[in-house]
Structure 1
Amino acid sequence: MNDSVNRPADGAPISVVLAGGGTAGHVEPAMAVADALTALHPDVRITALGTARGLETRLVPERGYHLELITPVPLPRKPTGDLVRLPGRVRRAVRQTRHVFDDVAVDVVIGFGGYVALPAYLAARGGVRRRRVPVVIHEANATAGIANKVGARSAQRVLSAVPGSGLKDAEVIGVPVRAAITALDRAAQRAEARAAFGLPDDTPVLLVFGGSQGAASINRAVSAAAGELARSGVAVLHAYGAKNTLDLRTPEPGDPPYVAVPYLNRMDLAYAAADLAICRSGAMTVAEVSAVGLPAVYVPLPIGNGEQRLNALPVVNAGGGLLVDDADLTPRFVAEVADALLTDPPRLSAMTSAAAQVGHRDAAERVAAVALDIALSGRAARGRRR
């Protein structure tokens, strides 16, 4: 990036609004970009848009960034009462967003989809006596959502995680991932990570998780395979979700440990401790797992529009993972695939290399650089018009 990024012409901090509330899949990429923005430009002013019911109410303040709440605008896919109420919600949310833009003197908006993205895109279009605000869009999923499809029509730059997202002229850069993950050296932190979870140094470790809420079908299949896994000499680190319970057999003397926790606060250590993962294939999960080069068995969520399967395909096709339907994830399958992979170091090594080659470790920095360059260009243009 040009050195001028660190020297705004008018001396005022560059102001960036991040629109990506609702789920962790929207909030986490936004927070990764926020961290990259502050690393590139320490004086940048960052404001995150969110709603009172989204995960951002916890995640954004925890990361030290300012959060402004607006009316959520869920876009119904079927005719419901929400469709009737949609125009009023949109107008209210756009009005609220414009007030935020004015208060923070926004230079650029970065949108990630979700409940707050559409109002941000519409507010950025300006109007009578209002200047247009440049927009950068990032689409994390293999199939773009409605909000990003609308916003992409007038955005200055459109970025995506994978090819074929449905957004015209999108530049493929991967999913922004936080630095604690992208900088992770699994081999170097293996001993520390295993000690943190009470896992032995000399035993293959299977990491199991189903996203922030857990996945009941994955929990059932893996827990039921605990005996077979133990007999194969496999230790397990299993995050089952705070709202779920896990029915585990009583271990036999000398069994490798089966460490079951509701939630993993240190995913970086979990990735470093593991040799193989069984997990869902949400965009953020695939991005993190591939960025650290961890071989994985991806189990796409069996509902929705099939985007989780599409998220995993680039890694699977490259040889960095396997894909199994939720209905086919049986205890027998878990035991057999874990035994086959975890007792085959050359195959695991090849999968590690393949996953790492597909992963994008610099996506957050690339989004941040694009946004800062656009913000500075806009300032320079406004300065010339004065």
Structure 2
Amino acid sequence: MNFADALRRLEPMAEITALGTVRGLDTTLIPARGYPLELIPPVPLPRKLNRALLQTPGRLRDSVRAAGAVLDRVRAEVVVGFGGYVAMPAYLAARQQGLPIVVHEANARPGVANRVAARMTTHVFTAAPSVRLAHATAIGIPLRPAITGLDRPALRHAARQRFGLRPDRPVLMATGGSQGARTINTAVAGAAPALRANGVQVLHITGPQHGVEVPDGDPPYVVVSYVDEMHYAYAAADFVICRSGAMTCAELAAVGLPAAYVPLPQRGGEQRLNAEPVVAAGGALLVDNADLDPAWIETTLIPVLTDSQRIAAMSANTWAVGAPDADVVLARHVLTAVTERRRSAS
């Protein structure tokens, strides 16, 4: 959606149709952003030899047929894919129709759909140079202008007022993403007395499925379940403790927020790979999920939070890793692919 917004800014007359499935948040997030949504059957790839795996070729054929019908109906001139259940049928349908394919891979470890598609096209883009994908050019991850244009110092005072935080004390933001993370919630809440004793405020975004109870006190420890406008939370914070999903890493780098990343132990270590570039640049700490507890926060994190010079240096190092214009860069490449197709057809 961030890419689509950038494409529309560059070419207001562009007709953009989102292709999605009933899985995930497609049916909620896409219409809310103002784009028409067409649904096709999802085709997950089973990891074990079972009946579902044997049924996959037939399901894929049906989904490719459905995707092709959508491409015909909207008179598509290019297919832009970001991986996932919807991508493989879309890529195969585009190839059957001779349409240009543009691939963007946000994760450090590419998924099956994008690995296959990278062999179909030379228009392949990734979040980081370390991503191994054929024909790839690293451009970063498309982000919202509210994030890439954020002036944290200018918005800091208003943002802290918004959350009931004091303007003159360091702020740690804790978040486990939209659904929360029990390990992060438990560790940060358990370290609340030590954080307060060292003058550190906390903005704790617990996620709707979780909750923590911290006694009132000073400096403030603010608990919320969800934040709609994350740029305010970023502006209020000096440091973040969070998971290291690809989007999270990209947003924090774009706004120059140092972090302690706690990668999910699942997914084959993918989240650790997402965090490694900013850690290597000196903009973040890395802690294993199993090692995160109140004691780690007290002994390792609090000395960082209370050192303003170190925070400033880490912030600069984080910002240097960011790629705030990836949305526009990708949109320009897509427009170029369409122009080339039109020329070859004329």
Looking at structure 2, the residues matched to 269 and 308 of structure 1 have their Cα atoms a distance apart, in angstroms, of 25
Looking at structure 2, the residues matched to 327 and 82 of structure 1 have their Cα atoms a distance apart, in angstroms, of 34
Q: Write the letter of the residue equivalent to 2:306.
A: T
- Residues 281 and 312 in structure 1, CA contact (< 8 A), matched pair in contact too: yes
Q: CA RMSD in A?
A: 1.1
| Residue-by-residue CA offset, 1:300-319 (whole Å, 9 max, x unaligned) | 00111111000000000000
Query: What is residue 162 of structure 1 aligned with on the other side?
Result: 128
Paired residues for 1:89-128 under 5 Å: 89-126=59-96
Query: What is residue 337 of structure 1 aligned with on the other side?
Result: 300
- Residues 134 and 156 in structure 1, CA contact (< 8 A), matched pair in contact too: no
> Aligned to 2:267, which of 274, 297, 304?
304
- Residues 118 and 135 in structure 2, CA contact (< 8 A), matched pair in contact too: no
Shift of 1:234: 0.9
> Aligned to 1:326, which of 286, 289, 292?
289
Query: What is residue 335 of structure 2 aligned with on the other side?
Result: 372
Looking at structure 1, the residues matched to 221 and 19 of structure 2 have their Cα atoms a distance apart, in angstroms, of 40
Looking at structure 2, the residues matched to 335 and 85 of structure 1 have their Cα atoms a distance apart, in angstroms, of 52
Shift of 1:336: 3.0
Query: What is residue 12 of structure 1 aligned with on the other side?
Result: none
> Aligned to 1:250, which of 191, 194, 215?
215
> Aligned to 1:264, which of 204, 222, 227?
227
TM-score (norm. length: structure 2): 0.98
Query: What is residue 70 of structure 1 aligned with on the other side?
Result: 40
Looking at structure 1, the residues matched to 282 and 39 of structure 2 have their Cα atoms a distance apart, in angstroms, of 42
Looking at structure 2, the residues matched to 45 and 379 of structure 1 have their Cα atoms a distance apart, in angstroms, of 16
- Residues 214 and 221 in structure 2, CA contact (< 8 A), matched pair in contact too: no
Q: Tell me if 1:206 matches 2:166.
A: no
> Aligned to 1:196, which of 162, 167, 178?
162
Shift of 1:169: 2.4
Query: What is residue 25 of structure 2 aligned with on the other side?
Result: 55
SS in 1 for 2:79: strand
Q: Tell me if 1:363 matches 2:326.
A: yes
Shift of 1:82: 2.4
Looking at structure 1, the residues matched to 130 and 5 of structure 2 have their Cα atoms a distance apart, in angstroms, of 28
> Aligned to 1:223, which of 173, 180, 189?
189
Query: What is residue 243 of structure 2 aligned with on the other side?
Result: 280
Looking at structure 1, the residues matched to 177 and 258 of structure 2 have their Cα atoms a distance apart, in angstroms, of 17
Looking at structure 2, the residues matched to 301 and 265 of structure 1 have their Cα atoms a distance apart, in angstroms, of 23
* Identical pairs, percent: 54
Q: Write the letter of the residue equivalent to 2:10.
A: L
Query: What is residue 136 of structure 1 aligned with on the other side?
Result: 102
- Structure 1 ranges of 4+ moved more than 3 A: none
Unaligned stretches of 5+ residues in structure 1: 1-30
- Residues 175 and 363 in structure 1, CA contact (< 8 A), matched pair in contact too: yes
Looking at structure 1, the residues matched to 50 and 202 of structure 2 have their Cα atoms a distance apart, in angstroms, of 44
SS in 1 for 2:102: strand
Looking at structure 1, the residues matched to 173 and 20 of structure 2 have their Cα atoms a distance apart, in angstroms, of 32
| Residue-by-residue CA offset, 1:109-142 (whole Å, 9 max, x unaligned) | 111000100001110111xxxx301001001011
Looking at structure 1, the residues matched to 338 and 46 of structure 2 have their Cα atoms a distance apart, in angstroms, of 33
Shift of 1:105: 0.6
Looking at structure 2, the residues matched to 215 and 146 of structure 1 have their Cα atoms a distance apart, in angstroms, of 27
Looking at structure 2, the residues matched to 357 and 351 of structure 1 have their Cα atoms a distance apart, in angstroms, of 10
Looking at structure 2, the residues matched to 376 and 175 of structure 1 have their Cα atoms a distance apart, in angstroms, of 23
Looking at structure 1, the residues matched to 20 and 247 of structure 2 have their Cα atoms a distance apart, in angstroms, of 19
Shift of 1:179: 1.0
Looking at structure 2, the residues matched to 118 and 155 of structure 1 have their Cα atoms a distance apart, in angstroms, of 13
Shift of 1:233: 0.9
**How many corresponding residue pairs?**
346
Query: What is residue 311 of structure 2 aligned with on the other side?
Result: 348
Shift of 1:256: 1.2
Looking at structure 2, the residues matched to 53 and 151 of structure 1 have their Cα atoms a distance apart, in angstroms, of 21
Unaligned stretches of 5+ residues in structure 2: none
Q: Write the letter of the residue equivalent to 2:169.
A: T
